[in-house]
Amino acid sequence: MNTMTLIDSLAKERAIEARKQKDGENFVEIPSFKSGDTVNVAVRVVEGEKERIQNYKGIVISRRGCGINQTFTVRKISNGVGVERIFPLYSPMLQSIEVLREGSVRRAKLYYLRGMSERKIRQKITK
C-alpha cells in the first residue's frame, strides 16, 4: 500500500473510532457535502464537567486540505454580523454534520459571498 494512504487511513480509522466510542448508538457518519451546501453542524461544547451540543447552521464556503487534515468553513449571518467558523472534518468535537440544502455554485471557494446581502447570497447558491 502507498505509504501516504496508509498513514491517512490509519489516522482516519482512529478518529472515527474515537467518535464511535463517544456516541455509541448515536454515531453519525460524515456525509458528502460541498461548497454552497447549507449544513447544520452539531458541535460539542464542554462547560466545566458538562457537555452539551450546540448547533451551528450556515453555508459551506470552503473545503480544504486532504485526508485527516481536511477542514471546512461555514459562514452564517448572526444578528447582522457575518460569522465564519472553520471545523476540522474529523474532529471528535463534531457530533454530526447534516446537509440541509444542496447548493448550486460554480466555484470551490465562495469567498465572494462575504460582501453580499443575505438575499443576494440566497440567489447565488440556489439553482
What does the binding site for another protein look like in residue numbers (CB under 8 A)?
Answer: 3-4, 6-8, 10-11, 14-15, 18, 22, 44, 46, 67-69, 88, 90-93
Q: Exposed, middle or buried, 19 (CB in 10 Å: 0-12/13-18/19+)? A: buried
| Minimal distance, residue 46 CB to another protein, in Å | 7
* Residue 95 and residue 43 in contact, taking contact as beta carbons nearer than 8 Å: yes
In the complex, least distance from residue 115 CB atom to another protein, rounded to whole angstroms: 31
Q: Closer to another protein at the Cβ: 6 or 77?
A: 6
CB of 51 to another protein, least distance (A): 10
Report the residue number, 9 or 40, with the smaller CB distance to another protein: 9
Separation between Cα atoms, residue 90 and residue 31, nearest integer Å: 12
Calculate the CA 40 to chain-centre distance. 8
Where helices occur in 1-127 by DSSP H, the ranges are 3-23, 118-125
**Cα angle, residue 118 at apex, residues 95 and 65 outer, rounded to 5°:** 45
Nearer to another protein, 44 or 63 (CB): 44
Closest distance of CB 111 from another protein, Å: 24
Q: Which is nearer to another protein, 82 or 92 (CB)?
A: 92
